[in-house]
Chains A and B, each alone.
Chain A
Amino acid sequence: MRADLSLQQAPPFSVPARFLVSAPLFGILAALILLWNGPEIISHRWTPEILAVTHFLTLGFLAMSMLGAMLQLLPVLMGMIIPRPIFFSSLVHTPLFLGSLILGMAWLLQVDKLFIIAAALLSLSFTVFIVVVAERLLRSANRHVTRSMMLLALLALFITAALGITLSMGYGWQSFPLARQLTDLHLSWGLFGWVLLLIISVAYQVIPMFQITDEYPVLHQRLMGWTVFVAMLNLSMAYLWQLENLKTISIALLAVCLMVFALATLWLLHKRRRQLVDTTMRFWQLAMVSLLLLTSCWLLTHLINIELSIFLYGVLMINGFAMTTINGMMYKIIPFIIWLHLSVHNKNLRNKDKRDSQVKVPHMRKIIPEAAGLWQFRFHLVSVILLIVATQWPFWFFYPAALALAASQTFLLFNLLKAVRFYNTRLNELSTII
């Protein structure tokens, strides 16, 4: 019974903060590499520079912030405790940070050995995270659909990482065969398995709670995770045995899932009880529109046989959908946990009868002002639009798009660092009193 009583508060502030603040650093790095190299790097599908950019975004921004957000949300959403959180988060964060950086450098500098070092670091980070979190999730008394979807997402992360490590061994060791045919599988499991499943599983809980909407339909919640997962399994078989029809059917099934999720979310948001349009809500709307555009582009290419750049899909999925969702969530997570930690410190003062010495705990809008989030959203929106058009007309739009990405990520980093500084200042004030 005692194990089910895990109603403890959030982990220490530094646990999620180190992940969330690291993410935009990689966003900026990706933008700088685009600016440095110019439009020729998207002249054909996988140049080393574009592989570096892609991994700075998917590992450095997405995986980084998703693991950090999970460490913050799991105790609340799933009622589970991560033991020794600071040690555990260092063991995940440090190798993930270094591994992502070194992997990008391996492509940019063309040094084979760096691939091996990156693979070792990333294996350590993901193995520790997956083993500990999956074990906790399996033991959790919570039976919400989010739990099974998170487990599927972790399985997808494991498959993505295993494929990625196999591929990087191919780059790093001459004697190890470079299995390029696994590339599509690796990116599909990463984006449609891990990223999509995790975001959907979190949306099922946070959209109804924080926007005060109805719940997602029960059938939708029950079927979505498994349908996406089965579609991914079929897609894997189609890639491995070159089954073109199965590939089309699997992608169509995934496209239907994306469309159903995006439309359901937009509908719930449209019918929400809260009429206030907050910044996070705008990010959710943009993310869902990106998913709809992604599926529409896929349909267009199949129905009227037009050729669209592969990078268009990448931009819509990575920047338009995933980075947008996470960026929006950061504006809820960071100010709230700062408020929470400061108010707990304040309570400690009250318990010590130092009522007069208490510092007034600022509400969330004082920690990151609404206008700062809203302006960063506008920068992000412009960067997504420019990146989309740059995939079609790189000559005109490549540099403006890369600049907009750099500006939006710098703005995000600035907002987050300002909030962290605010927290440290207030904490120091409180500590001197205690």
Chain B
Amino acid sequence: MNIREFMSKDHKDCDMLFAKAENAASTGDWETAGQACNEFIQAMNRHLGFEEQGLFPAFEEATGILTGPTEMMRMEHDQMRSLFVEMNDALEKQHSDDYLGAAETLLIMMQQHNMKEEQILYSMMDQRLSEDASYWQQKFNDWEKQ
């Protein structure tokens, strides 16, 4: 699998966790929602952290582009993180409309962000990074252990 394939697959895995949490919150099952949302945010933080500390610096070094797409992606990561905080607040208060509203906003933010990465940025990484994809995949698999 190249970078685009394994990172896109991780996007899909995160989507599933998102849906699980949202489904539970929409039926008022706050215990399941809490666990699933926690799992989702952990998986997202792992994904975002790997990009920000692993893939993006390597891309910036390989291309010399510091203020281009990676800067924009970092900014969008921050926007997503602010929504994680809102979702957690709503979970604590068991406020269904606030949870579902923040989650819906995150879903659109996250999907349009993923699309830019999947359709443009990851392919550029596959072309430009000096290490091959298996190196990055291994690094990603080990990431949670760090």
Residues of A within 8 A of B (CB): 1, 4-5, 7-9, 76-77, 79, 141-142, 144, 205, 209-210, 212, 273-276, 278, 332, 335-336, 339-340, 343, 347, 361, 363-366, 370
Taking A339-B105, A347-B78, A361-B82 as given, write out 8 further A-B residue pairs in contact, using a Cβ cutoff of 8 Å, ordered by the A residue number.
A7-B68, A9-B72, A210-B108, A273-B16, A273-B19, A275-B26, A347-B79, A363-B102
Interface: B134 (CB within 8 A): no
CB–CB A364/B119 < 8 A: no
Least Cβ–Cβ distance between B11 and chain A, in angstroms = 10
CB–CB B101/A79 < 8 A: no
CB–CB A363/B86 < 8 A: yes
CB–CB A76/B101 < 8 A: no
CB–CB A205/B101 < 8 A: no
CB–CB A274/B23 < 8 A: yes
Interface: B139 (CB within 8 A): no
Least Cβ–Cβ distance between A410 and chain B, in angstroms = 25
The number of chain B residues touching the other chain, given as a range, is 35 or more
Neighbouring A residues of B91 by C-beta, 8 Å: none
Residue ID in chain B nearest A73 by CB atoms: B112
CA distance A273 to B36 in the complex (A): 14
CA distance A7 to B65 in the complex (A): 13
Neighbouring B residues of A343 by C-beta, 8 Å: 79, 82
Interface: B51 (CB within 8 A): no
Determine chain B's interface SS by DSSP, over half rule: helix
Interface: B84 (CB within 8 A): no
CB–CB A276/B22 < 8 A: yes
Least Cβ–Cβ distance between A331 and chain B, in angstroms = 10
CB–CB A4/B19 < 8 A: no
Interface: B132 (CB within 8 A): no
Within 8 A of A (CB), among B21-38: 22-23, 26
CB–CB A278/B82 < 8 A: no
CB–CB B120/A278 < 8 A: no
Contact A364/B69 with A273-B16, A275-B23, A343-B82 known, Cβ cut-off 8 Å: no
Chain A proximity mask over B34-60: 1 for CB below 8 Å, otherwise 0: 000000000000000000000000000
CB–CB B116/A76 < 8 A: yes
Contact A212/B115 with A5-B68, A364-B101, A364-B105 known, Cβ cut-off 8 Å: no
Q: Name 10 A/B residue pairs within 8 A (Cβ), A-sorted.
A: A77-B115, A142-B120, A209-B115, A210-B107, A273-B16, A275-B26, A276-B23, A336-B105, A364-B105, A365-B101
Within 8 A of A (CB), among B89-112: 97-98, 100-102, 104-105, 107-109, 111-112
CA distance A335 to B101 in the complex (A): 10
Least Cβ–Cβ distance between B103 and chain A, in angstroms = 8
CB–CB B119/A144 < 8 A: yes
CB–CB A363/B101 < 8 A: yes
Neighbouring A residues of B111 by C-beta, 8 Å: 209-210
